[in-house]
Amino acid sequence: MATPSERRSEYLYPRVRRAVESTPAATTRTRMRILAALAIVPALTALVVVIASEAVYGRPAAGLGIDVASAAAVLMTLALLAGLALASTLFALSQGPGGLGIASTWLVSIVALVVPVYAALTVLQPLHSGAADVGLTGVTISPWGVRCIFIATVVSGSVLAIFAVALRRAVAVASGLRGGALGAAAGAWGGLAVFAFCPSGETQHLLVGHVLPIALFTLLGGVVLSRALRP
């Protein structure tokens, strides 16, 4: 004997079928979109850094070459920041074995840790002496990091949009938290870009121009992305 739920779902079948038949559905698998995003994001970040740095300082990746006391320390920090961006991206984009994403504790960790880890790596012990801020390069560097905020916004905004496309309709659970984690990951790519671009060593500049955009994109991801991510 059919249960009431079976009878009711059978009764609803024609309506559901009609609605489904008249609704288009994407066919590009999410895994493909995630792989494409993982290929595009580092290339995009590098491209923006090279173009911006050439335009402003006349050399690629000025932050890695101007006013640097230790090349090894810069490369180590660059590797750590790249690792931070990549790891947060992989966790935030992961669909998990059950298709419902990774555990919420991991997402909370990403949201909570990306900004402080980035700040600890770049602000607590700046790799630049601050000579570039007082005219070493002949380029005026704003103490409020206006140029860096712009570059971080371009990179993080583009990366966030790429993430949104990659995971569109794919997050059935905790979409706000996932949006925040994606925002933090996008912010980390923006942070990596300004680290490679900017030779400033001033604390105020680093906090406002480099760290603040990451915090803002974490917030933005949580607020704005949620709707696009839900099925």
Partner 1 sequence: MNATGDRLSSLMERYARGEDRVFEQLYGLLAPRLYRFCVRLATSVVEADDCFQETFLKLHRARATYVPGANPLYWAFAIARSVYLTRLRYWRRRPEQLGAARDVAEVGELQVHDTTPEAEVAAQHLHDTLASELGRMSEKNRVAYILLKEENLSAREAAEVLGTSVEVVKQRAHRAYESLKSALSTAGWSEYGNPV
Binding site for partner 1 (CB under 8 A): 3-10, 12-13, 15-17, 19-20, 23-31, 95-101, 103-105, 167, 169-170, 172-175, 177, 230-231
Closest distance of CB 159 from partner 1, Å: 20
Q: Measured from the CB atom, is 3 or 125 closer to partner 1?
A: 3
| SS3 label, residue 123 | coil
Instruction: Match 């001033």 to its residue by tokens.
Output: 202
Closest CA to 137 of 60, 200, 70: 200
CA distance 67 to 51: 20
In the bound complex, what is the minimum distance in angstroms from residue 174's beta carbon to partner 1? Answer: 3
Q: Which helix (H) or strand (E) holds 178?
A: helix 175-197
Q: Considering beta carbons, is residue 24 or 138 the nearer one to partner 1?
A: 24
Sequence-separated (6 or more) residues with CB below 8 Å from residue 159: 41, 44, 45, 185, 186, 189, 190
Could you give the dihedral angle defined by the CA atoms of residues 136, 121, 151 and 193, in that order, rounded to the nearest 10 degrees? 100
Instruction: Report, in angstroms and rounded to the nearest whole number, the Rg of the chain calculated over CA atoms.
Output: 22
Closest to partner 1 by CB, 23 vs 125, is 23
In whole angstroms, the minimum distance from the beta carbon of 5 to partner 1 comes to 4
**Residue 32 vs 69, nearer CB to partner 1:** 32
Q: Nearer Cβ to partner 1, position 4 or 138? A: 4
* Nearest-approach distance from CB 171 to partner 1, in angstroms: 8
> Is residue 184 within 8 Å of 88, Cβ to Cβ?
yes
What is the smallest separation between the CB atom of 138 and partner 1, expressed in angstroms? 51
Nearest distance, CB of residue 86 and partner 1, angstroms:
21
Q: Which is nearer to partner 1, 31 or 59 (CB)?
A: 31
Q: How many angstroms separate the CA atoms of 67 and 153, rounded?
A: 25
